[in-house]
Amino acid sequence: MRPAKILFILFFFSAFMSACSNQPDKLSLVQEYANDESQFIDIRDMQVHYRDEGQGDVVILLHGTASSLHTWDQWSHHLKKHYRVIRLDLPGFGLTGPDPLDQYEVNNDVDFINNFMQKLALDKVHLVGSSLGGRISWEYSLQYPEQVKSLTLINSLGYPQESWPPAIQLAQWPLFDSLVANLSPRFMFDIGLKEIYFDAQLVDDKLIDRYYDLAHYPGNMDAFPKRVKAKLDTDSLEIKNISVPTLVLWGEEDRYFPVDRASDFNRDIKYSSLITYADVGHLPMEETPLTSVTDFMHFLTSTTFD
């Protein structure tokens, strides 16, 4: 039996149990996943969760689909010793919660990031994005090149996708989208994370709990199908117009965002360099944090910026 069919069967088998289970409430999630560095700022009628640490040149870190600012924990630990590091939960994810107007196209995200930067009075930042965050980052660099000192893309969206992770695929289909929004048991997060990590041993209970809990922050599950129906892989011809110095980092074992895409970015962006990681999947900043953040810091210290 094909893995996709098994996944569908398991999904439906779990529906009743998931519907009967207790979901975490907003207050308990904030208590668990915010900390002393957490701040909240009003943007487009959302209380946006972010952390602002360190001093120096500003580095903004944008996470991917179904993730949160916690994906950057280990990078931030190292970077904040040398830079001002700002990371945030994008609309529909983490403790920020859903956009009240359901505005999830890339241009909406670019406007959101621009509003965020204006609120914090930020100018000329190093912009880093993973997956969806990479897609938002390179689009931002096209629309606001004067605001971006450098661009770093980590297993980024950008070129037409041949396939999507199963949860995203399901959420894009009619009928299934409603099921995904309302019935998402914990074991599905276990399965999904083990598909995007190369080393399944890294997927422990703490990691699964974090992804599961924050996905169930009020409104996030309902936002998820709307999020993944956004047009994310239709503007690849624009990538060649990126003009800022760019670093491309890529896990070679990413089954849904193949390493060939890294070469495509490196080919199409004039001022770019490429580093790939063997035995690493979709999340190099979580799977090989010290090596990847060291490569990033070397890029910043060895590159001349306007």
The amino acid sitting at 22 is: N
38: Cβ–Cβ under 8 A, 6 or more apart, which residues? 49, 50, 51, 95
Specify the pLDDT at position 162.
77
Specify the pLDDT at position 166.
59
Where helices occur in 55-131 by DSSP H, the ranges are 73-79, 106-119
Specify the pLDDT at position 18.
46
112 CB neighbour count, 10 Å cutoff: 23
Specify the pLDDT at position 130.
98
Q: Which of 25, 87, 19, 79 is CA-nearest to residue 55?
A: 79
Whether the pLDDT of residue 209 is over 80: the answer is yes
Whether the pLDDT of residue 13 is over 50: the answer is no
Rounded Cα–Cα distance for residues 105 and 85 (Å): 26
117-174 per-position pLDDT tens digit:
999 999 999 999 999 999 999 999 999 999 999 999 999 999 987 766 655 655 554 5
Rounded Cα–Cα distance for residues 141 and 230 (Å): 19
The label of the residue with tokens 């809990």 reads 213
Rounded Cα–Cα distance for residues 96 and 115 (Å): 15
Q: Which of 161, 162, 122, 158 is CA-nearest to residue 139?
A: 158
Specify the pLDDT at position 17.
42
Angle at 294 between CA 189 and CA 164, to 5 degrees: 30
Specify the pLDDT at position 3.
46
106 near 231, Cβ under 8 Å? yes
Specify the pLDDT at position 9.
44
Whether the pLDDT of residue 186 is over 80: the answer is yes
Most confidently modeled range among 40-54, 178-192, 210-224 = 40-54
96 near 214, Cβ under 8 Å? no
The mean of the pLDDT values for the chain is: 88
Confidence of residue 304 (pLDDT cuts 50, 70, 90): confident
82-126 per-position pLDDT tens digit:
999 999 999 999 999 999 999 999 999 999 999 999 999 999 999
Of how many residues is the chain composed? 306
Confidence of residue 7 (pLDDT cuts 50, 70, 90): very low
Q: Over range 50-78, report the average pLDDT.
A: 97
Rounded Cα–Cα distance for residues 2 and 6 (Å): 6
Specify the pLDDT at position 171.
52
Specify the pLDDT at position 160.
84
60 near 119, Cβ under 8 Å? no
Whether the pLDDT of residue 14 is over 80: the answer is no
The amino acid sitting at 171 is: A
Specify the pLDDT at position 23.
63
135: Cβ–Cβ under 8 A, 6 or more apart, which residues? 106, 129, 156, 157, 158, 232
Angstrom distances, CA of residue 82 to CA of 61, 85, 122, 218: 15, 9, 17, 36
257-267 per-position pLDDT tens digit:
999 999 999 99
Instruction: Report residue 52: phi and psi, to 5°.
Output: -130, 105
Specify the pLDDT at position 191.
86
36-301: CATH class? alpha beta
224-238 per-position pLDDT tens digit:
888 877 777 788 999
Specify the pLDDT at position 170.
54
Q: Over range 253-259, report the average pLDDT.
A: 92
Specify the pLDDT at position 168.
60
Specify the pLDDT at position 73.
98
Confidence of residue 65 (pLDDT cuts 50, 70, 90): very high
Write down the domain spans for the chain. 36-301
Specify the pLDDT at position 5.
45
